[in-house]
Structure 1
Amino acid sequence: MVLFGATGDLTHRLVIPALYNLSRTNALPESFTLIGVARGNMTTEDWRNDLYGSLKKFIGAANAEFDPDNIDAGAWRRLAEKMIYVRGDLTEPALYERLRGALDQAERDNKTQGNAIFYLAIAAQQFCTVVEQLCKAKLVEQPLEANGHAKFWRRVVIEKPFGHDLDSARKLNARLRNILHEDQIFRIDHFLGKDTVQSIMAFRFGNGLFEPIWNRDRIDHVQITAAETVGVETRGKFYEATGALRDMLPNHLLTLLSMVAMEPPVGFDAATIRSKKAEVLAAIPEVKPFCAVRAQYGAGEVLGKPAKPYRQEENVAPDSNIETYVAMRLEVDNWRWAGVPFYLRTGKHLSRRVTEIAIRFKQAPYTPFQDTDVAALRPNWLLLRIAPDEGISLQFEIKRPGPAMDLASVKMDFRYEDWFPKEANVGYETLIYDVMIGDQTLFMRADMVEHTWRIVQPVLDAWAACSAAEMPAYPSGSAGPSEAVALLGREGRSWRPIDGPDAGQHS
């Protein structure tokens, strides 16, 4: 693995802890070699020591139960002893000649057989520069044997964002595919490394109980929520160029939607599953601006601590027109989902951290209970909890004990930690392993990327024309703006609460 951006935040915070966890569980091949590429003036030993120091910090931060002073020395040694550091400027051809030498050394010393992953943990504007330089140096070529099979493989991992809008996504895809085959490109999204996300398809298609009711006849609507308690922290410069919609909708939330709404695949191979997801995205019309809400967090209190407004954050313009909250309504125009609204929302500095998919089933008829003490029938909810308390729960009605016919809402609850041993995990382990074995199931295809941008492009265009004075605000530590409540309210629906004692569990 050639890791561009070897001294950057992403490398320290996620990539190295993930590789360490793979080493700890013996999932790294014996021949694995890590080549770091960055501009910093350091030796390989300096780089190793720097990574070891940050490993304790970040692997502990990602796993509260993990003792950061209890690093597995053997697992770290297996990884560290096969590290090589290469210094250079990403725009200079000389760097890629030095990189060729490091790849040759890895092959001689560790028998890598020519296989290589180029991981671009760098700024998005440098993606094409690096890929084009790799091409000029002939480092991404896959020469063929006489039988037509490649002698070895070369793969490229690209971090989000995959473009800034529809036009830039198309141009990025065109430039990449002018050099690489689609099966060489792995567009990585850390959301998809979570166990609950990967379990969506198993839950749907491995149980005869749910698939027959997974349609417009039984489902009233679907809510997908990604709420964060953190603000922009030190990422003000990035966020000013991105915003909540670009940061979360085209990748994380629309990918979750595609997994919930896809048709049953004929197999679980990557090509089949990605085609089914792409069909869903192709069936979603462009979102009209009046079906989307944006807002920016103001002053308030988050988790008991005072929070300043977004416009006072570091590297944020005092008249910023960038949203920190977005909610939208969309539909999937196909036979299964016709008329079923999907509501998506995400925001920063909200009252509680929660990522979940909430499926509300249509209400049972009240008629059988009209002459009883039942005052109302509450809806049935199926919750797929992705973070922080991974699991699945089903809410339904039962009779309350006593002589009168009265109903109570209860739930059946499955939590991963109750059934399976908890492993230290930062969310990248499965994804990096899949790149190694060439499984693209959890990675976006070019047409999928372009569909996600097509869906939200009218909203981006409309918001770009709005002034900062038109930006709604919500207090930090709240559930979001009143405009988001009205988005559902005009159809007689309401968001599931994300704050309060029953948040994420009952409605």
Structure 2
Amino acid sequence: MNARCADPTLLIIFGGTGDLSRRKLLPALGRLAAAGLMHGNSQVLALGRSDDHDDTSFRALTAEALAAAKLAEDALDPNALHYQATGSPADFAAVRARIERIEKEAGLAQSRVFYLALPPQAFAPTITGLGEAGLNRSEGNTRLVVEKPFGRDFASAHALNQVVHRWFDESQIYRIDHYLGKDPVQNLLVLRLANAFIESLWNRNHVEAVQITAAESLGVGTRAGYYDHAGALRDMVQNHLTQLMTLVAMEPPTSLSAEAIRREKIKVLEAVEPLSAKDIVRGRYTAGSIDGKALPAYVDSEGVAAGSTTETFVALRLGISNWRWQGVPFYLRTGKALARRLTEIAIRFRGAPVHLFESLGVSDTADVLRIRLQPDEGFSLHIDVKIPGTPFRLQRIPLSFSYDDRFDHMPEAYTTLLHDVLCGDQTLFVHADEVESSWRAYAPLLDATDTPFDYAPGSWGPCEAECFEIPDKELWRDS
């Protein structure tokens, strides 16, 4: 993200006054404008059902959102901010007329971005409405941004892709997975492929296991109604954790183009070995407390259906059947109300073939590369060294790198992603085939009706998650 996009663009946000727009999109645009990374003549049109808003109130709402993000209230030019009530059902002819009027007044050349900051059930009718109104094509460059979740299983994702592809080309589509906008995630390929000694070890001959954890310390909060229809597997594993897995496991691409990188990620998904119930542990938190604050049991949260079997925790084991990773287990874990917030990838290398130091009480000499994605972003390689002096003793220490210690600034994920949308770079976005291959891989696990195992808030999940343990080895790395 080091250059301003050349063309002034009209960004049309469906759900433009909603929570996502206020918390993420408007501040991201403000950061881009303040950094000179967005053309000064770009415009924003917020679309919503409510007649309570107009241009003036949307400008005030935007100023509040920018101030809440510690940005100048005028980081976005107020005169470039517009609002249009769409009605219900949406009047796309009126939307088109407003778009054309803004473009004429601002002198824009039909460079358009449609951003669907909407509930998932609104995706298909909105895309169809855009197509029927002729807004899927323009004399300039038209792009469509779709938030997650993209479907809830293979069938629904495939059906949504069919709607998308009826009106838009894949080259126009930007499916959001905000994890891909995080700089430490983008650094995964750099760490692997720009450092030859690491890539030479990145295979089944040297790697014993891969663990990917995305832990949250909070409960479901006000999202219980949505969450009860999704669960941890759909909400986190199928998208975020799977994207991390593909970046760890993919082959080196032929170039850094979006097409080349996505092609290798799809190959990983197609090589995932068939999953079954023995490969997953599901859990949900009971009543307890987090940081001294009472937390009701998940099943007692407002919005959770009676008799719900939705999980708030998942631990699963999968294999990748290809030349590089055959026989190496990948462990994925995520959950709510866990011991702390942590997103990390741990690469456990195979130990030395002969344990020369076993007599000193060192039974496990396997080195571990830990890549911390949040918080305290960075990575560390944990190795054994001799403690100075006598007697002869060993100690495990980290060779560490911290983003905070080295760099002054880390871009927020949505800032990076919106910049790439404006510039037409699809590298950090998910291809249709990735979405469908991922849903297909997890299909055997999606409709479980067994009751999840209980776990206490502030723990690392149900003890049953240890069932995947490698013999005589620590599995989950929690610190």
Question: Do they superpose with TM above 0.5?
Answer: yes
Q: Secondary structure of 2:174's partner?
A: strand
Aligned to 2:385: 398
Asked whether the 8 Å contact 2:346–2:477 carries over to 1, the reply is no
The answer for the alignment partner of 1:26 in structure 2 is: 36
Structure 1 residue 407: Cα displacement: 1.2
Q: Which residue of 2 aligns with 1:455?
A: 441
The answer for the alignment partner of 2:4 in structure 1 is none
Within-5 A mapping of 1:158-177: 158-177=146-165
Distance in 2, matches of 1:271 and 1:322, equals: 36
SS at match of 1:281: helix
> Would the aligned equivalents of 2:64 and 2:73 in 1 still touch at CA under 8 Å?
no
Residue in structure 2 matched with residue 135 of structure 1 by the alignment: 131
What is residue 475 of structure 2 aligned with on the other side? 495
CA contact (8 A) 2:115 2:144 kept: yes
**How do 1:314-393 and structure 2 match up within 5 A?**
314-369=302-357, 372-393=359-380
TM-superposed deviation, 1:105: 2.4
Contact map agreement 1:479 1:497 (CA 8 A) in 2: no
Q: Deviations over 1:347-367 (max 9, x none)?
A: 000010000111000011344
1:16 aligns with 2:3: no
Residue range with higher mean Cα deviation, 403-412 or 237-246? 403-412
Report deviation, 1:174: 1.2
TM superposition shift of 1:492? 4.6
What is the CA distance between 1:263 and its match in structure 2?
Answer: 0.4
Output the CA distance in 2 between the equivalents of 1:387 and 1:45. 38
Q: How does 1:84-163 map to 2 (within 5 A)?
A: 84-89=82-87, 91-92=89-90, 95-142=91-138, 151-163=139-151
Q: Report deviation, 1:493.
A: 4.0
Tell me the residue number matched to 2:246.
Answer: 258
The structural deviation recorded for 1:54 is: 3.2
Report the secondary structure of 1:22's partner residue: helix
Native 8 Å contact 1:244 1:347 kept in 2:
yes
Q: Does 1:408 align with 2:395?
A: yes
Gap runs ≥5 in structure 2? 1-10
Distance 1:140 1:317 in 2: 39
1:46 maps to 2:34: no
Tell me the secondary structure at the aligned position of residue 41 of structure 2. coil
Moved over 4 A (4+): none
CA distance in 2, matches of 1:357, 1:206: 18
CA-CA distance at 1:47 after TM superposition? 1.1
Within-5 A mapping of 1:298-313: 298-313=286-301
Q: 1:110 to 1:279 in 2, by over 3 A?
A: same
Q: Is the 8 A contact 1:381 1:395 kept in 2?
A: yes
Structure 1: segments with no counterpart, 5+ residues: 60-67, 143-150
Q: Which amino acid aligns with 2:384?
A: E
Task: Give me the identity figure in percent.
Answer: 39
Q: Distance in 2 between matches of 1:8 and 1:87?
A: 13
- The answer on whether the counterparts of 2:116 and 2:123 sit within 8 Å (CA) in structure 1 is yes
Aligned residues: 468
Measured against aligned partners, the alpha-carbon deviations of 1:122-165 in whole angstroms (never above 9, x if no partner) come to 011111101111111101114xxxxxxxx411111000001011
Q: Distance in 2 between matches of 1:168 and 1:352?
A: 34
| Residue number in structure 2 paired with 1:5 | 15
2:179 matches 1:191: yes
When structure 1 is superposed on structure 2, of 96-105 and 308-317 the one drifting more is: 96-105
Match of 1:474 among 451, 455, 465: 455
| 3-state secondary structure, aligned to 2:384 | strand
Q: Write the distance in 2 (CA, Å) between the matches of 1:51 and 1:90.
A: 24
State the alpha-carbon separation in 2 of the partners of residues 213 and 107 from structure 1.
53
**Contact 2:271/2:321, CA 8 A, preserved across alignment:** yes
Match of 1:236 among 205, 224, 244: 224
- 8 Å Cα contact 1:7-1:40 kept in structure 2: no
| TM-score w.r.t. length of structure 1 | 0.89
Match of 1:63 in 2: none
Q: Is the 8 A contact 2:369 2:379 kept in 1?
A: yes
Deviation of 1:227 (Å): 0.1
Q: Which moved more, 1:337-346 or 1:163-172?
A: 163-172
Asked if the contact 1:378–1:409 (Cα under 8 Å) also holds between the matched residues in 2, the reply is no
SS at match of 1:476: coil
Counterpart of 1:350 in 2: which secondary structure? coil
Q: Distance in 2 between matches of 1:244 and 1:278?
A: 22
How far apart are the structure 2 equivalents of 1:454 and 1:313?
Answer: 31
1:209 deviation in Å?
1.7
Q: For 2:85 and 2:430, how far apart are their aligned partners in 1?
A: 31
State TM-score, norm by structure 2.
Answer: 0.94
Q: Distance in 1 between matches of 2:133 and 2:375?
A: 44
How far off its partner does 1:110 sit?
Answer: 2.4
Read off the aligned partner of 2:334 and give its amino acid letter.
T
Distance 2:72 2:422 in 1: 23
Q: How do residues 196-211 of structure 1 correspond to structure 2 at under 5 angstroms? A: 196-211=184-199
CA contact (8 A) 1:485 1:494 kept: no
Shift of 1:319: 2.4
Match of 1:429 among 415, 422, 428: 415
Matched letter for residue 56 of structure 2 = E
Q: Is the 8 A contact 2:355 2:365 kept in 1?
A: no
1:7 and 1:369 map into 2 onto residues whose CA distance is: 62
In 1, the alpha carbon distance for the partners of 2:433 and 2:211 equals 25
Report the AA paired with residue 464 of structure 2. Answer: E
> Do the aligned residues in 2 keep the contact of 1:329 with 1:342 (CA within 8 Å)?
yes
SS of the residue aligned with 1:209? helix
| Residues 1:90 and 1:118: Cα distance change in structure 2 (over 3 Å) | farther
The CA distance in 1 between the partners of 2:243 and 2:137, in whole Å, is 30
